[in-house]
Amino acid sequence: MSSDKTRFKRDLSPMSVWALAFGCIVGWGAFMMPGTTFLPTAGTLGTTIAMVIGALIMVVIAFSYSYMVSLHPKAGGEINFARECFGDKHACFCGWFLALAYLANVPMNCTALGLMTRKLFFGVFQFGKLYQVAGYDIWLGEVLLSIVVLVIVSWLSIRGIKKSGLVQSIMAISLATAFLVITISALFSPITHWSNLVPLWGPSTHCTSLFSKQAMSGILAIVAVAPWAYVGFETIPQAAEEFNFSIGKVNLIMIVAIAFGCVVYSCNNLVTAAASPEWTEFVKQHDWAVGAAVEALMGKAGLVVLGIAVASAILTGILGFLTATSRLLYSMARDGYIPAMFAKLHPAHGTPANAILFCLVFSVVGPWFGRTALGWFVDMAAIGGAIGFGYAAWSCFVTIRRRRSQGLEAQPRTALRCLAVLGTILSLGFIALLLIPGMPGCLNKQAYMMLGIWSLIGIVFFALHGKGA
């Protein structure tokens, strides 16, 4: 237990836990990438298929998570699983890359606030231009906006999980409601036609078959980013010590959050394509295709609804990943992998205040580098998510086999063991798609460099301090 002998407060309801996962899954990218990545890569139907495949893979892995959480209902999730099954070195390795996957998303969501104001509020915070990083303009106003929001969210997080969980729930419901309004409006808009969804498999009208090389390559490229797109459902185990409900509900909450995320990603793409009979040209003409599509379908009122959805997605992402990262750091410190100061809980609020403050300090640096540079971190963060998925799945298989041999498991759990093996193989497949040059989802050279630097820092850090060194 933590060094100040306090405990987490069990104030998280099932709704708050669902909101935590859903808010982390759906961020700014769900409203930006249809025009920049998803549609140009895999087309309308290709993207939908890829998102459904990604969601099904996440559901397969979720079964392993729910089983392991039932045995180890402690903050830290995969770290606990890896330590119990494979030892401290594996726990250190898993924790280090999982921390990257979570932490990188906090400043990335913050910089999205500036982009949102550019698109919806005429760039009101674009004042005091400072410099450029990799072609991205850094404005003092947008940096200050990000910092103010980070400070407010961090303060709320320190004040207690019950308060932050309530705020997360309200924003997640706002996101879901606004998205539902946009989707229904698009379905009944007079300019929406099924023919607008063509081409189905990519930007080329010559690709007419699912089984063509171009279609399959595009779908695989989108499936490869599933660890990034759906990272968030597994933040639920990070808050396991704060549940005020039965641990048996975890699996259903995870699956519902994944399903909601899949619907948002898929429908955003379809709404974007439905706004124009030539979506291939439409996405080229607008740097924010989703916003332009919603305005075309619903007018200015649509932009207001979209603004609510986007703001809610960004804020739930910031709060959710801050919660998950701080609990992960707390767990690593409690197990002796990082300094003990991170394992202290606030005596009044029962939150890992030092870990939250560290996340705040790390995150306020991000906006000064801009979204392009931060994007390299987020690209390689998909590796961290895939590593966490793999450890959870394989730990599930090893644990079931071990408990059976010890007479602790009455049921054979054959189906779950098969899902655990499948989840492990799929996680390795994600890593291969991201790391092997020439694969559809391969990282760019900047992300490779960042991954190497992060790995080197981890090796040095744990060689000097880590318990598992």
What pLDDT sits at residue 245?
A: 92
Q: What long-range pairs does 411-416 form, CB within 8 A, spacing at least 24? A: 416/63, 416/64, 416/67
Rounded average pLDDT over 58-77? 93
pLDDT, one tens digit per residue, over 395-426 is 999 999 999 888 888 788 999 999 999 999 99
At residue 253 the predicted structure's pLDDT band, cuts being 50, 70 and 90, is very high
User: What is the spatial distance between Cα 257 and Cα 260, in angstroms, rounded to a whole number?
Assistant: 5
Report d(CA 298, CA 189) in Å as an integer: 8
Q: Across 267-276, 417-426, 443-452, 456-465, which has the greatest mean pLDDT?
A: 417-426
Mean pLDDT throughout 196-209? 77
Average per-residue pLDDT in the chain? 88
On the question of pLDDT at 163 being above 60, the answer is yes
Query: Is the preceding peptide bond at 199 cis, omega within 30 degrees of 0?
Result: yes
Confidence of residue 3 (pLDDT cuts 50, 70, 90): very low
Percent of the chain with pLDDT strictly greater than 70: 97
Using CA atoms, how far residue 412 sits from 108, 110, 352, 401, 407, in Å, is: 44, 46, 39, 9, 11
- For residues 314-341, give the mean pLDDT: 92
Residue with the two structure tokens 């990943």 = 321
**pLDDT tops 90 at residue 168:** yes
User: pLDDT tens-digit profile of 229-249?
Assistant: 888 898 999 999 999 999 999
* Token representation of residue 307: 């603004």
pLDDT band at 433 (very low <50, low <70, confident <90, very high): confident
Decide if pLDDT at 345 tops 80.
yes
Q: What pLDDT score was predicted for residue 179?
A: 92
For 14-464, the fitting CATH number among 1.20.140.10, 3.60.10.10, 1.20.1740.10, 2.40.10.120 is 1.20.1740.10
Mean pLDDT for 190-194 is: 83
Classify residue 436 by its DSSP letter: S
pLDDT digits (tens, 9 = 90+) for 255-305: 999 999 999 999 999 999 988 888 888 888 888 899 999 999 898 899 999
